[in-house]
Amino acid sequence: MTAQEVRLCGLLLQEHFGEVVEKMGTELLRSGALNLRALAHQTSTPLDLVKKSLCVLVQHGMCVFGPGRRGPGGPVEYTANCERILYMLRYPRYIYTAKSLYGDTGELVIEEILQRGQMTMSCTVRTVADRLTHSMEDGQSMEYSEVITAFTRLVETHFLQRCPPVDSMGTAGKASSGSSDASAVPQPARPETHPDCYLIPQVHLTGRGKRRRSNEDGEAEEINAKKPRLENEVCGDEGIFWQVNFERFHLHFRHQSIISAVASKLDPTSSEIVRTMLRLSEVTTPANTAHTQALSANEIFRALPVSYNISRPILDQYLTLLVDDPMEFVSKTGDSGGGMYVVNLHRALANLARVTLESVVQERFGSRSARIFRLLLRKRHLEQKQVEDFAMIPAKEAKDMLYTLLSQNLVQLQEIPKTPDFAPSRTFYLYTVNQLPTARLLLHNCYKAVGNLIERRLFETKENRRLLEKSQRIEAILASLQGGGADAAQLSDVEEMITAPERQQLEALRHHINKLDSSENQVDETIFLLESYINSTQSSH
């Protein structure tokens, strides 16, 4: 965990949970595991605030607890999960994906569960139904059963999973010396190990979403609408909480990247074939394997979507094309069943990471520097002179570019001595690029970049706080006037309370903030790609 990651985690925690939770989270990230009192002491925070913060973090899966250093009899220790905190950057992408797969209903289900960390199915269904009803026309409302359907689909495809059960600490005293498993402290296990991980509970849940009653007191209604409905009726799924299965979304993102890479390198039909292959092996391929299980051409042919009406020989031709492509998306591993094929997941990710690195070099240093970079990636080790020749760049400029890349750590210099004394005149100096450490370097830069983006946005907001508050007050006045039936003259009077230059300033501010927010989303795409490549490399070696 680098300093930049900790900084970014802190900023994300602050945005979503406030500065108290941020302080606790950052302290845990920096110190490793801490017990309650140590955390309170180190952050000079009252105990009740520390407890509340920990509750929030644990509720959202960003902190786990377990037996401490002194074993089961000692105080519980809390550990923050840096990776999970960083997922907050990707929340819009998770929500948007749910929308594209399961419509508005799916979108809201995921959004609600992300906002609350974990929810029961009944609670989610009611809240989502209410939200959808609110956006529908008067007189219409959303059936609970429709929401249940979307929820069930999300669970069946593993995008949602049950939270791992945590035993209550209530009656636990000292750990019994007999069994090693009996610890007084509850240990949340990995969710997938639980046999009912994807089991929908039997619920009695019928009804429709309720429309928010229009009231003079608009504000109070607002707060009530945000709270999940705590109905008195018991539904039958108390204590069964659901959380988003991030790894499943990540698998989907990786597959999407590969499919679109095939589409842009080859053609839509090839990408559909790859999509089919990935879909067939989704549930059987574990997370970070180098390639999917082998599929026969017969299987692929049968599983192709009906709209793609290609004949069997044509499919074989496409498969051959995919196998022969230098990107090596697909490989042939056998001849039975009409030919056995696998998708090379790791190689695809490595290629995607490589073009990302090349693109970064090109955009920052120009296309000729990018040419040198690509050359070194392919040829591994080259001397100064060889670089100049292969890249067809004059010596002086090539040197300049190489030194710039060297100073940015994108290129390394390696010494190969001809004689044991490392005498400079008898030593080869070779330039080299190593993809994995370079990817790590760029990933680190990405974390730093997002941190900078957030800080800038907070700065812009702070600088213009007075104006923003004024604007919000005027909006509120306008809204209440309109609700009360004011005439156009009154409304325009209020509107004029903001001067034209102020309006311009607000417009510019909105534009800047949108740009900064959007940039965060787009840097996260690069972060995901590089992280996927690095994880895939690490697990295959």
186 binds other proteins (CB under 8 A): yes
Min CB(333)–other proteins separation in Å: 36
Min CB(337)–other proteins separation in Å: 38
Span from 9-17, 190-198, 243-251, 531-539 in contact with other proteins (CB under 8 A): 9-17
Nearer to other proteins, 188 or 337 (CB): 188
Nearer to other proteins, 419 or 522 (CB): 522
Q: How far apart (Å, rounded) are the C-alpha atoms in residues 539 and 541?
A: 6
Min CB(170)–other proteins separation in Å: 7
406 binds other proteins (CB under 8 A): no
Cβ atoms of 433 and 411 closer than 8 Å = yes
127-166 binders of other proteins (CB under 8 A): 163, 166
Min CB(521)–other proteins separation in Å: 5
Q: How far apart (Å, rounded) are the C-alpha atoms in residues 430 and 379?
A: 11
Q: Which long-range contacts (CB under 8 A, 24 or more apart) does 83-90 make?
A: 84/60, 84/246, 85/9, 85/12, 85/13, 85/25, 85/29, 86/5, 86/8, 86/9, 86/12, 87/246, 88/12, 88/15, 88/16, 89/8, 89/12, 89/450, 89/520, 89/524, 89/527, 90/524, 90/528
223 binds other proteins (CB under 8 A): yes
Cβ atoms of 26 and 471 closer than 8 Å = no
Nearest to 228 by CA among 120, 136, 154: 120
Min CB(402)–other proteins separation in Å: 8
Q: How far apart (Å, rounded) are the C-alpha atoms in residues 306 and 315?
A: 14
Min CB(206)–other proteins separation in Å: 22
3-state secondary structure of 153: helix
Q: Which of 6, 9, 11, 21 binds other proteins (CB under 8 A)?
A: 21
177 binds other proteins (CB under 8 A): no
371 binds other proteins (CB under 8 A): no
Nearer to other proteins, 289 or 404 (CB): 404
481-540 binders of other proteins (CB under 8 A): 514-515, 517-522
37 binds other proteins (CB under 8 A): yes
CB within 8 Å of 271: residues ≥ 6 apart: 259, 260, 262, 263
232 binds other proteins (CB under 8 A): no
Nearest to 455 by CA among 507, 513, 509, 530: 513
43 conformational bin, left if phi > 0, alpha if psi -120 to 50, beta if neither? alpha
Q: How far apart (Å, rounded) are the C-alpha atoms in residues 57 and 360?
A: 35
Min CB(295)–other proteins separation in Å: 30
Binding pattern for the stretch 270-309 against other proteins, x by CB under 8 A and - elsewhere: ----------------------------------------
Bridge partners, residue 143, by sequence: 208
Bridge partners, residue 417, by sequence: 427
Min CB(264)–other proteins separation in Å: 15
Task: Kindly give the interhelix angle for 144-156 and 91-116, rounded to the nearest 10 degrees.
Answer: 120
Nearer to other proteins, 72 or 209 (CB): 72
CB atoms under 10 Å from CB of 339, counted, come to 20
Q: How far apart (Å, rounded) are the C-alpha atoms in residues 162 and 155?
A: 9
414 binds other proteins (CB under 8 A): no
How many Cα neighbours within 13 Å face the side chain of 398? 20
Q: Which of 44, 168, 180, 214 binds other proteins (CB under 8 A)?
A: 168
Q: Which of 30, 31, 36, 321 binds other proteins (CB under 8 A)?
A: 36
Min CB(395)–other proteins separation in Å: 8
Nearer to other proteins, 308 or 422 (CB): 422
Q: Name the residue with tokens 């591993």.
A: 333
Cβ atoms of 507 and 419 closer than 8 Å = no
Q: Which of 96, 198, 246, 390 binds other proteins (CB under 8 A)?
A: 96
76 binds other proteins (CB under 8 A): yes
Min CB(393)–other proteins separation in Å: 13
Count of residues touching other proteins (by CB under 8 A): 70
95 binds other proteins (CB under 8 A): yes
Cβ atoms of 86 and 12 closer than 8 Å = yes
Strands (E), 335-407: 340-343, 381-383
The residues binding other proteins (CB under 8 A) are: 15-21, 36-37, 46, 49, 51-56, 58-60, 65, 74-76, 78, 91-93, 95-96, 111, 114-118, 120, 163, 166, 168-170, 185-186, 222-223, 226-227, 239, 241, 363-366, 384, 395, 399, 423-425, 427, 429, 514-515, 517-522
